[in-house]
């Protein structure tokens, strides 16, 4: 059983709590949720965040850090180490942790119910099996079913404009099917595991060696689809409460490197308004389908727009998106005062199956807000020799730019710290840049990357480094 790596939470007598379980990058969403729950229940509500992120220091309140992999790696490296492990592993470890279960028991002695708030609802989270504990999000088994790319493509092929695809059961089938299709799919094809996120278990293949070098699991199912040359990879963030209640938060452009590697997003989308309208229409259709499947909560739809402005559906992400916090901050500055934010909409979607009456979708960009994100991911272990002070002021930065107090700004968030080994696959930090033009945003992202690179001892080739 893993021990607590770090803890600083303090319970206040007059306060009820929900638990956030997930990566620290979504910490800010909890502030929106606690404000909403405080209004809804007319009593003081706060949260305790249980996260796997290993940092030199923590500028966050009510935090519990659990990461048994990092703790074992510290022995290996004889140093501080920053590493990631899967959401499944983390949920399982937290669910089994006796000190977390003791905390839940302690909280239930003071309050009738505990909500668990997560980036993604997954079956490996079992704390909701405790009486009077529930996940404030989509039903976990439904979310798991829907996040199967194979299931999505099979169910939506007659509903949305999809690309030509095949399902391959096992590696031998994948290789044989690829060999048969290469002469016809001359631009290459996209291949992935049944479950894949951020490009981790996927590839754009142009020759058979690409397949053989990427995949090795002999008995897993694979999805392959025809690769379509394109420039834009838009994503739409939404919430579904019922078939007739699908809320569209906005459309952003994803940055995809090497065909599959997600590195960040930018808002507003550069696509033509007619295309954006069509993307939102397809997302509402997706939301209606999700509702029929029993799904309630936040989701995202990814598309591509080819060089002839034709739209193709790529996938539904039945979970929160990497840009959910940025869209919350955008909506807060763009919508009428008192409009419910995304965590509040998800609360009503999950608990009531209907949105509150005062919902407003964003139709324009009244404050001319532009933003972009960049995830600085490490592909080979590096060591840090400097640190960047931790900032939790993203929401405040949005307000200052929206109000004209700042022309532009950028923030470097969740930097590990000084004298750390940053393991393969981990984020050393992420960047959020704000302004009133795409130029402002790109300047901020570039400066943020340069600043992060100054903290890295072992420099990598830029192509290997950024991803």
**Same domain membership, residue 24 and residue 83:** yes
**Same domain membership, residue 395 and residue 253:** yes
Residues 6 or more apart whose CB falls under 8 angstroms from that of 268 comprise 250, 251, 252, 365, 370
**Same domain membership, residue 379 and residue 242:** yes
The stretch 385-412 carries a mean pLDDT of 92
Whether 151 is covered by a domain: the verdict is no
**Same domain membership, residue 198 and residue 131:** no
Residues 6 or more apart whose CB falls under 8 angstroms from that of 267 comprise 250, 251, 252, 253, 323, 326, 327, 330, 369, 370, 371, 372
Whether 346 is covered by a domain: the verdict is yes
**Same domain membership, residue 432 and residue 335:** yes
301-321: pLDDT as tens digits: 999 999 999 999 999 999 999
For residue 408, what is the enclosing H or E element? Answer: none
Residue 115 pairs in a beta bridge with 134
366: domain range?
A: 231-465
Nearest 5°: phi and psi at 229?
Answer: -55, 135
**Same domain membership, residue 188 and residue 88:** no
Which residue shows structure tokens 């193709």? 312
The stretch 28-55 carries a mean pLDDT of 96
176-200: pLDDT as tens digits: 999 999 899 999 998 998 887 655 6
**Same domain membership, residue 239 and residue 210:** no
For residue 305, what is the enclosing H or E element? Answer: strand 297-306
Percent of the chain exceeding pLDDT 70 equals 94
CATH number where 356 lies: 3.30.470.20
The answer to whether 229 and 304 have CB atoms below 8 angstroms apart is no
Whether 328 is covered by a domain: the verdict is yes
DSSP notation for 12-73: -TT-EEEEEES-GGGHHHHHHHHHHHHHHHTS-EEEEEEE----S----SSEEE--HHHHHH
pLDDT at position 391 is 75
Question: How far is Cα of residue 441 from the mean position of the Cα atoms in its chain?
Answer: 20
**Same domain membership, residue 209 and residue 281:** no
Residue 426 has pLDDT above 90, yes or no: no
**Same domain membership, residue 441 and residue 346:** yes
Q: CA–CA separation, 178 vs 185, rounded Å? A: 9
**Same domain membership, residue 181 and residue 58:** no
**Same domain membership, residue 186 and residue 313:** no
Q: CA–CA separation, 134 vs 130, rounded Å? A: 8
Q: Share the mean pLDDT of the chain.
A: 91
Residue 45 pairs in a beta bridge with 16
Q: CA–CA separation, 387 vs 127, rounded Å? A: 35
Tokens found for residue 201: 């278990």
Domain count, the chain: 3
CATH number where 216 lies: 3.30.1490.20
């Amino acid at each position: 059983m893993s021990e607590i790596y770090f803890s600083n939470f303090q319970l206040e007598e007059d306060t009820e709590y929900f638990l956030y379980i997930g990566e620290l990058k979504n910490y800010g969403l909890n502030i929106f949720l606690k404000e909403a729950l405080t209004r809804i229940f007319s009593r003081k509500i706060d949260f305790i965040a249980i996260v796997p992120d290993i940092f030199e220091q923590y500028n966050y309140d009510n935090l519990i850090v659990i990461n048994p992999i990092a703790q074992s790696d510290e022995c290996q490296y004889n140093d501080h180490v920053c590493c990631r492990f899967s959401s499944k592993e983390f949920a399982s470890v937290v669910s089994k942790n006796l000190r977390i279960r003791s905390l839940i028991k302690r909280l239930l002695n003071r309050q009738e119910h505990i909500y668990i708030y997560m980036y993604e609802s997954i079956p490996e989270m079992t704390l909701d099996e405790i009486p009077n504990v529930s996940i404030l999000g989509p039903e976990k088994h439904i979310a798991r079913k829907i996040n199967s790319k194979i299931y999505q493509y099979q169910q939506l092929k007659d509903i949305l404009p999809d690309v030509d695809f095949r399902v391959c059961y096992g590696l031998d089938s994948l290789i044989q099917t690829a060999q048969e299709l290469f002469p016809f799919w001359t631009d290459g094809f996209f291949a992935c595991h049944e479950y894949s996120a951020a490009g981790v278990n996927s590839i754009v293949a142009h020759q058979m060696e690409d397949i053989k070098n990427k995949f090795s699991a002999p008995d897993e199912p694979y999805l392959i689809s025809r690769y379509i040359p394109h420039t834009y990879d838009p994503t739409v963030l939404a919430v579904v409460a019922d078939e007739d209640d699908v809320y569209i938060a906005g459309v952003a452009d994803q940055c995809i490197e090497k065909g599959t590697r997600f590195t960040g997003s930018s808002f507003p989308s550069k696509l033509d308004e007619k295309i954006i309208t069509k993307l939102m229409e397809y997302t509402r259709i997706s939301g209606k389908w999700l509702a029929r499947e029993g799904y309630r909560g936040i989701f995202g739809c990814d598309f591509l727009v080819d060089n002839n402005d034709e739209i193709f559906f790529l996938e539904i992400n039945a979970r929160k998106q990497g840009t959910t916090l940025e869209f919350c901050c955008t909506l807060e500055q763009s919508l009428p005062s008192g409009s419910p934010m995304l965590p509040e909409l998800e609360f009503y979607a999950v608990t009531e199956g209907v949105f509150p009456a005062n919902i407003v979708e964003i139709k324009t960009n009244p404050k001319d807000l532009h933003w972009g994100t960049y995830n600085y991911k490490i592909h080979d272990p590096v060591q840090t020799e400097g640190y960047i002070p931790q900032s939790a002021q993203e929401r405040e930065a949005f307000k200052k730019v929206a109000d004209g107090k700042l022309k532009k700004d950028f923030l470097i968030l969740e930097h590990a710290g000084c004298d750390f080994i940053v393991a393969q696959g981990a984020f050393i930090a992420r960047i959020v840049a704000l302004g009133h033009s795409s130029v402002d945003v790109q300047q901020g992202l570039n400066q943020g990357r340069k600043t992060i690179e100054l903290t890295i001892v072992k420099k990598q080739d830029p192509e290997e480094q950024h991803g």
